[in-house]
Amino acid sequence: MLVHEILTPSSTLCGLEGGSKKRILEQVSHLISEQHTDMEDSCIFNGLHGREKLGSTGIGDGIAIPHCRLAECKDAIGFLIKLESPIDFDAIDKKPVDLIFALVVPEDATSEHLQTLASIAELFSKEEVRTALRQTECNQSLYDTICRLSS
């Protein structure tokens, strides 16, 4: 599944204040549960936070891809955030993170989960993609940019 297929304008947020990795995961969980009322934010947070305990999803170059599989999730959900200021995310390159793509997929969607993660990681590995996303200044621009670059 491609990035632009699991994002909507309302699941793209530019300029969020971060604070810490835990705070970001709490905020993302709340934002997702607001849009997907069949899932509780505490359940989403526990899934994302539990995955982080296994190892950071900070993949380097200022990018993090927190992700989890949940029984309550019916379809793949993506949420893209550009932080106002970079935060420590325990990334593999030790650099702070300012672009976050959260991914929540159904519990039994193992291959879809892995394919989508690979697609996201490949997209964000491109410097021109990271640069273009960092230059956006509003939610719609962030959404339009990621859709243009991921199609």
Residues marked active site are found at 67
Contact 99, 124 (CB under 8 A): yes
Q: Which two tokens stand for residue 31?
A: 């934002």
Angle at 23 between CA 6 and CA 110, to 5 degrees: 35
- Of 36, 87, 37, 35, nearest to 66 by C-alpha is 87
- Of 65, 89, 96, nearest to 78 by C-alpha is 65
Q: Which two tokens stand for residue 132?
A: 């273009």
